[in-house]
Copies of this chain bind each other. A is one copy, B any other.
Amino acid sequence: MPSEKPWRIPKVAVTVDLAVLTVRDGALQILLVKRGIEPYQGMLALPGGFIASTEEDIEAAAERELAEETGLTADQLHLEQLRTYGTPERDPRQRVITVCYLALVPDLPMPTAGGDARAASWVPVAHVLNDDAEIAFDHRSIIADAVERARSKLEYTTLAAAFCRTEFTMTELRRVYEIVWGVELDPRNFHRKITSVDRFLIPTGHRTTRDGGRPAALYRRGTVAVLHPPILRNSDPVTVS
């Protein structure tokens, strides 16, 4: 920890960047802003910014940026630290390390650029990962990390519900899994599996017919955060070295 030479400490600029994911129009999408200045002018980048002062908490900075970009406050969404990126060359101007946060938000009618003047827009992550979009800095690989984190978190937590509005149907929750994982799930087995997990979902007693057909029960997010056992997606074994 703090060594014996406090008079020779290199100080660096620290930014907080946000990977804000939502499920929208049948696709996993990420909130990106078009850069107005060099470097990477005109390219898409994660929303974020330098910490406001040397005394601003990192977590608070993330919440502040998120409120600026989306108008959402911390109790309406899921926010967690993703990881910190700090290779020396990642910003051509100067050494900048960035602490990235992952936010999962429902598909709300977004106040486009709430307060802030920057043009934030939703971009399907498939476009980003397929090289169909020009992405500034190392943000493409950060987005890849964010998507992978979200995908694996659906397996062993109840975070899929973070993509849903306050009240949602079992089918809407299932669509989240299907879209984020890119798979098809049996509606009947899914229903049974989810309802068998105690306190994953709380029935509100309300019903809706917005998906067509027989009215579906509406649920709210429950109090369980971790799933034991997890809901596993099928995937090929990942190897190393």
Contact = CB atoms under 8 A, between A and B. Distances in A.
Interface of A: 1-4, 6, 9-15, 17, 33, 35-37, 45-59, 81, 83-84, 86-88, 91, 93-99, 136-137, 139, 198-199, 223-226, 228-230, 232, 234-235, 237-241
B95 A199 contact: no
Given A9-B50, A10-B13, 20 more contacts: A1-B48, A1-B49, A1-B139, A2-B96, A9-B13, A10-B53, A10-B54, A11-B13, A12-B51, A14-B97, A54-B88, A57-B86, A57-B87, A81-B83, A83-B83, A198-B237, A199-B239, A223-B239, A224-B238, A228-B234
Max chain B Cβ within 10 angstroms of own Cβ: one of A51, A86, A199: A86
A47 B1 CA distance: 6
A17 B1 contact: yes
Nearest to A158: B240
Contacts of A139: 1
Contact of A238 (B48, B198, B226): B226
A17 to B, nearest CB: 6
Number of copies of this chain that the complex holds: 2
A57 B1 contact: no
A238 to B, nearest CB: 4
29 contacts: A1-B49, A2-B37, A2-B49, A2-B93, A3-B49, A4-B37, A6-B94, A9-B13, A10-B13, A10-B51, A10-B53, A10-B54, A11-B12, A11-B13, A12-B51, A14-B97, A57-B87, A58-B86, A59-B86, A81-B83, A86-B99, A223-B239, A224-B237, A225-B239, A226-B235, A226-B237, A228-B235, A228-B237, A230-B232
Contacts of A35: 1
A50 B2 contact: yes
Nearest to A10: B54
B223 A88 contact: no
Contacts of A232: 228-230
